[in-house]
Amino acid sequence: MSETGLNGSSIQRAPDGTGLRKVSVTYRREALCIADARHCATEYLTMSRRGRRTPLRESSAEAVQLVVSELMTNAVKYGSGPIELTLECTEEAVTVTVRDSDTTLPTPRPADPARVGQHGLEIVAALSQAVDIHREPSGKRVSARIALD
């Protein structure tokens, strides 16, 4: 079942009506949207776990929030146009996807503790089971799958 949220977000509920399966929100590319996206992720995780067998561990919620923050920060700093955040939850994992209009793909850097900044993709990779980066006709998509163990 799909519906539209108050903020224009696209919401898909689980077939049995419990929790949320998927939410997608589009933001203007500005620094304030990063905090809004983290807040959206927190609310989504709470709603998506309603009626589930197992509660969400705090460490999993923190990992999702940090991945959202890092991917949104990269989109604000290096992307262009509006930014779309999509969160999709299963019993096993949450997939965080961020899209923007810039077709330049991010390049993961090797770990370097002496480097100041630009550790975002390192952090995302460390917290995720998988990270996928794809060029699309109108920009790029970066997805990270975070286990809910």
Mean pLDDT along residues 121-135: 95
> Given pLDDT bands bounded at 50, 70 and 90, which one contains residue 18?
low
**Diameter of the chain measured on Cα atoms:** 50
Closest CA to 75 of 66, 86, 84: 84
C-beta neighbour count of 92 within 10 angstroms:
10
How far apart, in whole angstroms, are the C-alpha atoms of residue 124 and residue 128?
A: 6
How many structural domains are present in the chain?
1
Note the pLDDT tens digit of each residue in 25-84.
999 888 889 999 999 999 988 887 776 666 778 899 999 999 999 999 999 999 999 999
CATH number of the domain residue 73 falls in: 3.30.565.10
Q: Which domain range does residue 90 map to?
A: 2-147
Parallel, antiparallel, or unpaired: how do β-strands 2-4 and 20-27 relate?
unpaired
